[in-house]
């Protein structure tokens, strides 16, 4: 893959050191929910807002570097993934210039693919480590939202997707939450919030009550990408 040019340096003052010797093991994808990239840059670089990300990708594919990858950007907020908090210290944050209800532009997606290839290789992050903001904070966040093309990333080994044709279990909220926890979701946020976050990413067309397709998808993801309790406590 080749990108449309080097990253543009736009340093943000909103960062600190990674805590407790932690290193990036996740990449968190966001949308800016702002009018354009310049408005997003202004907010992400303003000290008074105390928010940032490592990268911002504009709709036209321009890539802005705001915080160095070895530093802790302030993009994640509270929440946990795979039973562990302080997602800021364990992740690299990528903001995508998007209002939240529009398709993501082709130049932007192409640039994201190049960036993810580099980050995953540089930090030895597995595809299951590329997650949505809403995945680990389902009661607070909805980004990057149902218009984001996760399946496209998965076809290039840059994210994960449920395997087609997985046998379906009968809908069962407790079983769904058990599998969701094994995959990584913070199930203490409750069934409704976790189902909404799961569907936004993996079944954005789904509506209504928990169904067999939800069960098949989450159980497949849990089987393939579960982390045991000991690893989550490490």
Rounded to whole angstroms, the Cα distance separating 212 from 138 reads 22
Rounded to whole angstroms, the Cα distance separating 35 from 64 reads 17
Q: Please confirm whether the linkage preceding 144 is cis (ω < 30° from 0).
A: yes
Q: CB-based contacts of 202: which residues, under 8 Å, 6+ apart? A: 150, 161, 162, 217, 221
For 129-166, the DSSP string reads GEEEHHHH-TTT--TT-TTS-HHHHHHTTSS--PPTTP
Of residues 35, 30, 34, the one with CA closest to residue 75: 30
Q: What is the dihedral of CA 115, 140, 234, 173, to 10 degrees?
A: -110
Catalytic residues: 95
| Contact (Cβ atoms closer than 8 angstroms) between residue 59 and residue 21 | no
Rounded to whole angstroms, the Cα distance separating 61 from 65 reads 13
| Contact (Cβ atoms closer than 8 angstroms) between residue 121 and residue 53 | no
Residue showing tokens 């690893």: 231
């Amino acid at each position: 893959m080749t990108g449309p040019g080097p990253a543009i340096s736009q340093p943000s003052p909103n960062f600190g050191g990674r805590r407790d010797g932690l290193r990036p093991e996740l990449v968190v994808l966001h949308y800016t929910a702002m009018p354009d990239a310049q408005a997003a840059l202004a907010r992400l670089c303003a000290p008074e807002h105390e928010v940032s990300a490592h990268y911002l990708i504009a709709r036209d594919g321009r890539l802005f570097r705001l915080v160095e990858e070895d530093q802790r950007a302030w993009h994640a907020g509270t929440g946990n993934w795979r039973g562990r908090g302080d997602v800021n210290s364990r992740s690299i944050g990528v903001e995508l210039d998007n209002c939240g209800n529009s398709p993501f532009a082709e130049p932007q997606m192409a640039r994201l693919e190049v960036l993810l290839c580099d980050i995953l290789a540089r930090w030895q992050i597995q595809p299951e480590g590329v997650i949505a903001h809403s995945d680990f904070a389902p009661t607070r966040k909805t980004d990057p939202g149902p218009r984001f093309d996760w399946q496209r990333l998965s076809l290039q080994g840059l994210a994960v997707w449920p395997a087609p044709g997985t046998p379906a279990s009968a809908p069962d909220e407790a079983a769904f939450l058990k599998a969701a926890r094994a995959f990584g979701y913070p199930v203490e946020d409750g069934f409704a919030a976790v189902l909404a976050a799961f569907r936004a990413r993996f079944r954005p067309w789904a509506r209504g009550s928990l169904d067999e397709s939800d069960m098949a998808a989450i159980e497949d993801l849990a089987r393939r990408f579960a982390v045991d309790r000991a690893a989550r406590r490490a």
